[in-house]
Chains A and B, each alone.
Chain A
Amino acid sequence: AQSVTQPDIHITVSEGASLELRCNYSYGATPYLFWYVQSPGQGLQLLLKYFSGDTLVQGIKGFEAEFKRSQSSFNLRKPSVHWSDAAEYFCAVGAGGTYKYIFGTGTRLKVLA
């Protein structure tokens, strides 16, 4: 069965530091992979997605993610974190029908000034 694992429940980084959020998936075929961000009191917003092609994908707000098939991973990165990046981040895999996601449990990011 498809699944998504985000091993880190909470991460704290200092403003200006680099960031990497981990995501591992289990899926039989080539997956559709997504990262969403949820700011406090808001709905989810798509940061980036991977369907095929270049395994390094660029998203909004300076985020990027790398698909590594051999490691079943799709980690999210940002070279320099801003205080406004404090939010919860969800990794998701497309689970069929071009509309259904399986979401990870999320990683809550705290940014220290």
Chain B
Amino acid sequence: DAGVIQSPRHEVTEMGQEVTLRCKPISGHNSLFWYRQTMMRGLELLIYFNNNVPIDDSGMPEDRFSAKMPNASFSTLKIQPSEPRDSAVYFCASSLSSGSSYNEQFFGPGTRLTVL
């Protein structure tokens, strides 16, 4: 099992540029999560998809952030335009959700984003 795959692992960009982070969840999982980890705010849930549909995007910081899940095996998180305060590690996680209880979330290795 390849686990959750994220790309790129590191991204350095300049303020104002568009950034796209990619995630391939574990095959067969029906839930996908995007998290952001910073020293100041810790680990925060940005958005949650179930069966490719966004269920909870209350954690998305502002309109500059958008996420899509066009199919069960791929998701993107886009920041446009990027700002230095977006610098963080972004994690994708997936799980097989039964809807009745908490299911283990499997995390990818993360993308470290630096916005200059």
Q: Footprint of B on A, CB under 8 Å?
A: 32, 34, 41-46, 49, 51, 90, 94, 97-101, 103-106
From residue A13, how far is it (CB to closest CB) to chain B in Å? 23
Q: Footprint of A on B, CB under 8 Å?
A: 4, 31, 33, 42-43, 45, 48, 56, 91, 93, 95, 97, 99-110
Q: CB < 8 Å: which of B42, B56, B107, B108 contacts A97?
A: B56
Contact status A100-B42, CB under 8 Å: no
Minimum CB distance partner of A46 in chain B: B104
Contact status A42-B48, CB under 8 Å: no
Residues of B within 8 A of A51 (CB): 101-102
If A51-B102, A100-B56 touch, does A43 touch B4 (CB 8 Å cutoff)? Answer: yes
Residues of B within 8 A of A41 (CB): 109-110
Contact status A43-B93, CB under 8 Å: yes
If A43-B91, A43-B109, A98-B97 touch, does A103 touch B104 (CB 8 Å cutoff)? Answer: no
From residue B43, how far is it (CB to closest CB) to chain A in Å? 4
From residue B90, how far is it (CB to closest CB) to chain A in Å? 11
From residue A40, how far is it (CB to closest CB) to chain B in Å? 11
Contact status A103-B43, CB under 8 Å: yes
Leading 3 A-B pairs by shortest Cβ distance: A43-B107, A103-B43, A44-B107
Contact status B91-A44, CB under 8 Å: yes
If A44-B91, A51-B102, A106-B42 touch, does A99 touch B108 (CB 8 Å cutoff)? Answer: no
Minimum CB distance partner of A41 in chain B: B109
- Cα distance, A12 to B75, chains bound together (Å): 39
